């Protein structure tokens, strides 16, 4: 199934919004309570970026880095 322009816009916006939310958690000193949410937001961002037709490998790589940080703070 090919994404329409509207679908691409939606996926990109969700990916960016989740990415930005994770960034706000990474800036906090204490993150243990948000660790699980960071994991879910990072997964969501990654998946939505993968649905955008013109995504770059950098988009996916950065979300993978965020995901690794989220798991690090879950420990």
6 pLDDT above the threshold of 70: no
Domain residue limits, the chain: 5-74
Q: Among 2-11, 48-57, 59-68, which is the least confidently predicted range?
A: 2-11
Q: How many CA atoms lie less than 13 Å away from 62 in the CB half-sphere? A: 13
pLDDT in tens, 14-63: 999 999 998 888 877 776 678 788 889 999 999 999 999 888 889 889 88
Q: Say how far apart CA 13 and CA 75 lie, in whole Å.
A: 30
Count Cβ neighbours within 10 Å for each residue of 26-57 and write b for 16 or more, e otherwise. Answer: eeeeebeebbeebbebbebbbebbeebeebee
pLDDT of 5 reads 57
**What pTM value is reported for the model?**
0.75
Q: Say how far apart CA 10 and CA 13 lie, in whole Å.
A: 5
């Amino acid at each position: 199934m090919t994404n329409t322009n509207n679908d691409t816009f939606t996926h990109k916006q969700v990916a960016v919004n989740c990415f930005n939310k994770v960034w706000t958690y990474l800036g906090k000193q204490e993150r243990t309570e948000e660790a699980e949410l960071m994991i879910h937001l990072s997964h969501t961002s990654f998946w939505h970026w993968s649905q955008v037709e013109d995504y770059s490998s950098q988009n996916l790589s950065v979300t993978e880095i965020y995901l690794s940080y989220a798991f690090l703070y879950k420990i």
